[in-house]
Amino acid sequence: MYTKSIRELGLGLKNKEFSSVELTKHFLERIKKFNTLNALITTTEEQALKAASQADQKIAAGIQEDLTGIPILHKDIFCTNGVKTTCGSLMLDNFIAPYDATVVTKLKDAGAVCLGKTNMDEFAMGSSNENSYYGPVKNPWDTAYVPGGSSGGSAAAIAARLAPAATATDTGGSIRQPAAFCGITGIKPTYGLVSRFGMIAFASSLDQGGPMAANAADCAIMLQAMAGFDERDSTCVNRPKVDYVAELDKPIKGLRIGLPQEFFNDKLNPAIADLVHNAVKELEKLGATVKSISLPNGHLCIPAYYIIAPAECSSNLARYDGIRFGYRCKDPVDLEDMYKRTRSEGFGAEVKRRILIGTYVLSSGYYDAYYVKAQKIRTLIANDFIKALNEVDVIIGPTTPEVAFKIGAKNTDPIAMYLNDIYTSSVNLAGLPGLSLPIGFVNNLPVGMQIIGNYFAEAKILNVAHQLQQVTDWHTKVPAEFA
């Protein structure tokens, strides 16, 4: 059952080939069997079986939607009522969420069954999933390698087929980069399409929730349930509902593809470049046309991102002071001691590094020199995309400059780690949607290709990805150890 898509599982449930309870037990057994990946922080077996039983009752009554009775996982950044919600941090190790995030509510209302919460880089800060208080997640294709981050737990779980789909978040590439490293499909929606209410904040103007699954069709089903206006999120956009599933099978003849010159340079592994060009040729066979475009300010995305994101993180994480909720140091001598020790003990090294950077760039005398300048660069980057997307329908390029690296290989070099997001963070700065899908292997490790669309063009990029997956089979590959 673990190799079936959401559509196939839904059909199996409808035809009484298996029940949701049986399906849920099947995936819970796989989670127990392959827990060496460290992909999950919490497994919610009792709640899952209860929800599966309720789904079976609905199906028996003839009430079934695309996700009714389908097991999924939630990244441990989404508050889940009555379940530990840690954000991968000691700071929230004892936090039991008293409410559901909007994304959790929407998927629950759609009938999905939550199996548990996935591991992640602490407060979503990282590109390798080595920054979790609960230890690093391992890449199912080779457990000596990282799965990418910060949504590495979700990505590894899907790659190993521990669940058909999972939620994730993307601040600078944290859906697309681990999707590429693990050989699965993941989409970061347009900023504001998916509610951030109940999604623990890292950088509020960049964070966006989205789905991960084996293929684009399953991502479309997940996004269909996740997207929509939420009055509790002031940044959520109120716009008409789009049927992402209905758009999947549209032919792409006449599609205009733009290849950014700046993406194909000496920083990109040539073998990855070849795979991207091969995938584009497949799209050309389906009727697409290709032209070279330029994103001249793209090289500025990393310095701009690593000023804006830490600035927002330093503000958002100020609430973790040991007073209201979360970790508190033992036996503080006074209030100042409690603040200092709680934060120094409760946060990991990468989180503290980014808080310090953010506090510095927002301080008097440096705000204009760094933060304001970074915001101006952000506008230039967005304008580059807007200009390009007036000439083409989608922009295509590599998701990452290299394949997954070994665990520990970049721990002493934060800049080398940050450069993994060179092709993804600009999309967050612009607020655009981006999708990564698997297109092959280099050194037996998966390679991802990124498809970027215009604002609220999720249906278009899902359609392009789905059409490519109809003529390729990279999305069906499962690591041998987990097959």
| Beta strands 208-213 and 185-188, pairing class | antiparallel
Q: How confident is the model at residue 104 (pLDDT cuts 50, 70, 90)?
A: very high
Mean pLDDT over residues 460-471, rounded?
98
The band of 311, judged by pLDDT with boundaries at 50, 70 and 90, is: very high
Q: Is the pLDDT of residue 264 over 90?
A: yes
Q: Domain 6-255+476-482 belongs to what topology?
A: Amidase signature (AS) enzymes (3.90.1300)
Q: Is the pLDDT of residue 217 over 90?
A: yes
3-state SS class at 366: coil
Residues with a catalytic annotation lie at 75, 150, 174
What's the pLDDT at 324?
87
C-alpha dist (Å) from residue 469 to 63, 185, 193, 226, 437: 30, 10, 25, 23, 9
Q: Per-residue DSSP letters for 10-43?
A: HHHHHTTSS-HHHHHHHHHHHHHHTGGG--EEEE
Task: Identify the bridge partners of residue 21 per DSSP, sorted by sequence position.
Answer: none
Distance CA 337, CA 319 (A): 16
Interval 127-169: pLDDT, tens: 999 999 999 999 999 999 999 999 999 999 999 999 999 999 9
Mean pLDDT of 61-87: 97
Residue found by looking up tokens 């009522």 in the block: 81
pLDDT bucket at 176, cuts 50 / 70 / 90: very high
Model confidence at 415: pLDDT above 90 = no
Backbone angles phi, psi at 182, to 5 degrees: -105, 0
Give the type of residue at 228: G
DSSP readout, 221-285?
HHHHHHBS--TT-TT--------TTTTTT---TT-EEEEEGGGSSTTS-HHHHHHHHHHHHHHHH
The pLDDT score that the predictor gives to residue 263 is: 96
How far, in Å, CA of 453 to CA of 392, rounded? 9
- Are residues 357 and 305 in contact, defined by beta-carbon separation less than 8 angstroms? no
Q: State yes or no: pLDDT of 419 exceeds 90.
A: no
